[in-house]
């Protein structure tokens, strides 16, 4: 608040305007004049205030911060920003998956955990979740899966029957669905949950040796969850609870942090590991590859403009810097295309020129023009090869790869001894959850399955839980009044 005389309003071209309150008319009650350009600009710009919301992960919040590396990882990775002592600025965004922009923050859903690192070798984006696995393992199922979780085409309502129909027909979903219906399906705040790359990535050291890795961001605030009824009550009380919590905490000067731990697998191990190391529905048990702490992520600055920074932030798993590559994880390979593609549609082809997405590293690409472009890479030739000193590719930055062979197929078969769909979900239920957490999981599943399932889907759903664990299946069946 200030008593000083405010500056004069201008239109978007910077020209002073006469009134914020009155249109230009002929006489006080007279018709509005077409030359009231300021009025026309206000109305026309307002009509264009929205960009399409994200088709998934629409509702979210974010903050700026940094990653600081405290352990030497040079034996495994040569990326500059992972050198011990390096501090890299970043922007993180957390989100729900299925709901729209105005939906409630605390509903049962996985949470997006996306980070853009502004490294000196270009942007590095990790686009993970608060769960280490996912519902499906092939990108061809992604739109089907999301359609089953969103709204019906006829009445625009969400439909539990659709959700359980899809899940029970795709048993590979059992591990993620088990986590979703555990207490971790309703985190208390974004500060109180972990983030996982979920995907396996490749790390390469300066000597060219390759490793497979998974990232775990462990909350320093401790895991805290809402019970199902607390989450539902909060959805009614304050649908923006998670956005508010993160914003207010940072505004108070309390900066949430996460310890970055890595699981690292030698390249050769993947071939005969007991699980397919690239299957997004599986974790690597900690006892096989113990997580190694290497750094700390801190969020210490709120965005100034939600739209400019959170809504227009464009994360893409295809942003991989030298020393880091993808893996044969099919879901990851699909996402390398779909993320930049959706940003071109949602924000426009020059989304990487917006301040929130702009690399801190110098850009010397040959892409040019397009809507809303305001910066070219200097007076350089616009084609390659050229005779005038334009940038040239360098084979020392060769794309990281792996050995593969075989016929072209549309199949998923496994050579790994423990690659069933239910084993890890069962181990979560039996060996990780406490007895109270198991009780909550049964209550959460029964509550959800009680709502609108037809008899075929219900029977298949109960069978699904029997396959995860016989005792869990029996408890779900009993809760649903089925024998
Ligand atoms: P461990 O006993 O070494 O680890 C179990 C892990 O389970 C914990 O460290 C914790 O992960 C996580 N966890 C605890 N409560 C829940 C919950 N309600 N929902 C989801 N995860 C929870 O066992 P393993 O490594 O052998 O894994 C056993 C099972 O634990 C897996 O099948 C998987 O379901 C789950 N899990 C495993 C993770 C992994 O990367 N190995 C990661 C997360 C879950 P955290 O330390 O990350 O908080």
- SS3 string of 255-286? CCEEEEEEEEEEHHHHHHCCCCCCCCCCCCCC
CA of 286 relative to ligand 1 center, distance in Å: 8
Element (H, E) at 452: none
**Structural domains of the chain ordered from first start:** 33-133+189-360 (2.40.180.10)
Residues with CB under 6 A from ligand 1: 132, 179, 182-184, 194, 216, 283-287, 424, 427-428, 432-433, 437
* Parallel, antiparallel or unpaired: strands 87-96 and 111-119: antiparallel
Which residue, by CA, sits nearest to atom 10 of ligand 1?
432
- Within 10 angstroms of residue 392's Cβ, the number of other Cβ atoms is 9
Are 278 and 329 in contact by the 8 Å Cβ rule? The answer is: yes
Tell me which long-range contacts 436-442 makes (C-beta under 8 A, separation of at least 24).
Answer: 437/182, 437/183, 438/472, 440/182, 440/183, 440/227, 440/228, 441/178, 441/181, 441/182, 441/183, 441/472, 442/472, 442/475, 442/476, 442/479
* Parallel, antiparallel or unpaired: strands 210-219 and 111-119: unpaired
Polymer length in residues for the chain: 483
CA of 433 relative to ligand 1 center, distance in Å: 9
Residue 195: both structure tokens together: 């983030």
Angle value at C-alpha 182, between 223 and 311, nearest 5 degrees: 65
Distance of CA 18 to the CA centre of its chain: 46
Phi and psi at residue 216, to the nearest 5°: -130, 120
Element (H, E) at 342: helix 330-346
Tell which phi-psi region holds residue 293, choosing left (phi > 0), alpha (psi between -120 and 50) or beta: beta
pLDDT in 10s for each residue of the chain, 483 residues: 778 999 999 999 999 999 999 999 999 998 999 999 999 999 999 999 999 999 999 999 999 999 999 999 999 999 999 999 999 999 999 999 999 999 999 999 999 999 999 999 999 999 999 999 999 999 999 999 999 999 999 999 999 999 999 999 999 999 999 999 999 999 999 999 999 999 999 999 999 999 999 999 999 999 999 999 999 999 999 999 999 999 999 999 999 999 999 999 999 999 999 999 999 999 999 999 999 999 999 999 999 999 999 999 999 999 999 999 999 999 999 999 999 999 999 999 999 999 999 999 999 999 989 999 988 766 789 899 999 999 999 999 999 999 988 889 898 877 798 989 999 999 999 999 999 999 999 999 999 999 999 999 999 999 999 999 999 999 999 999 996
Respond yes or no on whether the N-terminal peptide bond of residue 106 is cis (omega within 30° of 0): no
Are 390 and 384 in contact by the 8 Å Cβ rule? The answer is: yes
CA of 140 relative to ligand 1 center, distance in Å: 27
Which residue, by CA, sits nearest to atom 43 of ligand 1?
132
């Amino acid at each position: 608040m200030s008593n000083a005389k405010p500056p004069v309003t201008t239109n978007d071209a910077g020209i002073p305007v006469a009134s914020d309150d009155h249109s230009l008319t002929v006489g006080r009650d007279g018709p509005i004049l077409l030359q009231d350009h300021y009025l026309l600009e206000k109305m026309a710009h307002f009509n264009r205030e929205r960009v399409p919301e994200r088709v998934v992960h629409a509702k979210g919040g974010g903050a700026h911060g940094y990653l600081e590396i405290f352990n030497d990882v040079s034996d495994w990775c040569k990326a500059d920003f992972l050198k011990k002592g390096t501090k890299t600025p970043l922007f993180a965004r957390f989100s729900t998956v299925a709901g729209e922009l105005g939906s409630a923050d605390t509903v049962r859903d996985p949470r997006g955990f996306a980070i853009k690192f502004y490294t000196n070798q270009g942007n590095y984006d990790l686009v993970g979740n608060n769960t280490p696995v996912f519902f499906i393992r092939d990108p061809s199922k992604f739109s089907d899966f999301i359609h089953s979780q969103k709204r019906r085409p006829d009445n625009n309502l969400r439909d539990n029957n659709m959700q359980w129909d899809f899940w029970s027909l795709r048993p590979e979903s059992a591990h993620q669905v088990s986590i979703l219906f555990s207490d971790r399906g309703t985190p208390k705040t974004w500060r109180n949950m972990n983030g996982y790359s979920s995907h396996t990535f490749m790390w390469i050291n300066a000597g060219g040796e390759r490793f497979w890795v998974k990232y775990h961001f462990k909350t320093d605030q401790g895991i805290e969850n809402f019970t199902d009824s607390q989450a539902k009550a909060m959805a009614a009380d304050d649908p923006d609870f998670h956005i508010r919590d993160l914003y207010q905490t940072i505004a108070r000067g309390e900066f949430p942090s996460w310890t970055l731990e890595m699981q690292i697998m030698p390249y050769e191990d993947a071939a005969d590991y007991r699980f397919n190391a690239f299957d997004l529905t599986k974790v690597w048990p900690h006892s096989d590859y113990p997580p190694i702490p290497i750094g700390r992520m801190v969020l210490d600055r709120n965005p100034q403009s939600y739209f400019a920074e959170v809504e227009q932030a464009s994360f893409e798993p295809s942003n991989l810097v030298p020393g880091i590559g993808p893996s044969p994880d099919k879901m990851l390979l699909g996402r390398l295309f779909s993320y930049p593609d959706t940003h071109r549609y949602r924000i426009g082809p020059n989304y990487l020129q917006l301040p929130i997405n702009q690399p801190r590293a110098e850009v010397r690409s040959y892409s040019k023009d397009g809507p809303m472009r305001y910066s070219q890479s200097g007076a350089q030739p616009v084609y390659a090869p050229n005779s005038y000193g334009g940038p040239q590719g360098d084979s020392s930055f060769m794309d990281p790869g792996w050995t593969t062979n075989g016929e072209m197929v549309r199949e998923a078969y496994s050579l790994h001894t423990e690659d069933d769909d239910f084993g890890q979900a069962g181990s979560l239920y039996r060996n990780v959850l406490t007895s109270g957490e198991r009780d909550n999981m049964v209550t959460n599943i029964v509550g959800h399955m009680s709502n609108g399932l037809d008899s075929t889907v219900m029977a298949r759903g109960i069978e699904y839980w029997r396959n995860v664990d016989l005792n869990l299946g029996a408890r779900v069946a009993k809760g649903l009044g089925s024998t």
